[in-house]
Structure 1
Amino acid sequence: MQSTVDLLGALSTFAWPIIAGLVIWRLLPTIKKVMGSRGFTVKIGSAELSVQEVSEKLLKTTADIQGKLASVSASEYPEEESRSTLPPLRRVLWVDDHPSHNAYEAAQLQALGVDVVQVETTDQGIKAVSAAVPPFDAVISDMARNENGSFHADAGLELAREIRACGQHVPVFVYASAQDLARTSEILAAGVNDVTSSSTRLFAMLRKVGEFPHE
């Protein structure tokens, strides 16, 4: 039985990136029309939509993909809590000195019904976590930040350590560069729950904390 479970888990691991790739491939013609448009409207089939309308639909579609992939990934571990026992994922704090770098991922979360609060420094993050009512369900941080006029290569670690020192048990995830993954053991030792450079895996991490309200 266990071997069957392991096989199904392995198959689903390979399947969901392929499914995502196929869906995105199907969206490419629409994406190209939006990017190539010189006006304010794009003709899709027999309908003429505004670029904003098309962009919003693309965002909603990709958010749905992220949510479904996250659900599949989270369900690969039958020993964990069943989906029915998970609370809704309502609020997420995102700490990054360049919020624009994560604007699309934040918009996808909002499309899935998650309130995303974005701040730019460790101090702002600590204050936000301490004052949050209701509390945040998860915290996402980048690894390195420019703060108070200087560069902090370990800002993500510092944030996690300070959150834990305050007695907060909120899940903390580091959304890092691929190079930072070599420091995974060190990052986890600082009190971080998990680390990734993949947006899809980030959504899967969040999905293990709670269900997306608009899933």
Structure 2
Amino acid sequence: MDLLSVVSSLAWPIIAGLVIWRLLPTIKNVIGSRGFTVKIGSAELTVQEVSDKLLKTTADIQGKLASAGASEYSVMESRSPLPPLRRVLWVDDHPANNAYEAAQLQALGVDVVQVESTGQGIEALSTAAPPFDAVISDMARNENGSFHAEAGLELVREMRAGGRPVPVFIYASHQALARRSEILAAGGNGVTSSPTQLFALLRKVGEFPQEYTAD
């Protein structure tokens, strides 16, 4: 693991902890509220407004960390400016597992389309207009009534066999990291179990349309 990955993996929990600490009074108000509004200073906010604010704050943190990582890679690789990252396809048989990450991407201006199987993913790639800029997939999935331990790897292989050059990243448990070399050899562009590293990988594909715009 390179120095940037180590720093990124350490930075996210530290910064997330600081955010939670700063917002702890608000979180306590939300938890203790028996209604749908929370009193914060002289303002009265709905629980949804508080939740949206927390989401935007963490999305902004993720975006800044990812941009810092991508900038470092750009310096090392002398890359030209990247286009916006506008659409991402997320393949996972349990979309709820990635709901927060997907919401963070949407808060950064990225359109996220979620499907639950390799077949649905390939169909979405074939019919997408405008096209997807990147694909995220879990590794193991229940598909068509059976368990596929290598569904993510199979998706990578099927995409490359079909001549689809869209960057694809495996976002799964630590067990998938042991298959990194095999996934990369099949045409995958990255493997991670860290949300911060996932955002950094995506940021190497394109800029988040609404970077640094969280209120």
Does the aligned pair in 2 maintain the 1:12–1:76 contact within 8 Å?
Answer: no
Does the aligned pair in 1 maintain the 2:38–2:47 contact within 8 Å?
Answer: yes
Q: Give 5+ residue unaligned stretches, structure 2.
A: none
SS at match of 1:56: helix
Deviations 1:114-165 (A, max 9, x none): 0000000000001111221221000000001000000000000000000001
CA distance, structure 2, for counterparts of residue 13 and residue 203 of structure 1: 10
Does the aligned pair in 1 maintain the 2:115–2:121 contact within 8 Å?
Answer: yes
User: What displacement does 1:107 show?
Assistant: 0.7
SS at match of 1:186: helix
User: What displacement does 1:183 show?
Assistant: 1.8
Check if 1:128 corresponds to 2:124: yes
Residue type of the partner of 1:194? Answer: G
User: What displacement does 1:179 show?
Assistant: 2.0
Question: How does 1:15-94 map onto structure 2 within 5 Å?
Answer: 16-17=11-12, 18-77=14-73, 78-82=75-79, 85-94=81-90
Aligned mate of 1:154, from 147, 150, 154: 150
SS at match of 1:126: helix
Check if 1:171 corresponds to 2:202: no
Residue type of the partner of 1:51? Answer: V
Q: Give 5+ residue unaligned stretches, structure 1.
A: 1-5
Same amino acid, percent of matched pairs: 79
Moved over 3 A (4+): 9-21
Identify the range of structure 1 (146-155 vs 130-139) with the bigger mean alpha-carbon deviation: 130-139
User: What displacement does 1:20 show?
Assistant: 4.2
CA distance, structure 1, for counterparts of residue 62 and residue 151 of structure 2: 27
Does the aligned pair in 1 maintain the 2:66–2:203 contact within 8 Å?
Answer: yes
CA distance, structure 1, for counterparts of residue 18 and residue 123 of structure 2: 42
CA distance, structure 1, for counterparts of residue 15 and residue 185 of structure 2: 34
Deviations 1:48-106 (A, max 9, x none): 11001111111111111110111111122212344x61000000000000111111111
Instruction: Show the counterpart of 1:3.
Output: none
Deviations 1:152-206 (A, max 9, x none): 0000000000000110110000001012212211222222100100111101100
Seen in structure 2, the aligned counterparts of structure 1 residues 134 and 51 have a Cα distance that, compared at 3 Å, is same
Does the aligned pair in 1 maintain the 2:65–2:200 contact within 8 Å?
Answer: yes
Higher relative contact order (CA 8 A, sep 6+): 2
Q: What TM-score results when the alignment is normalised by the length of structure 1? A: 0.89
How large is the RMSD of aligned CA atoms in angstroms? 2.1
Aligned pairs, how many? 208
Q: What TM-score results when the alignment is normalised by the length of structure 2? A: 0.89
CA distance, structure 2, for counterparts of residue 14 and residue 101 of structure 1: 20
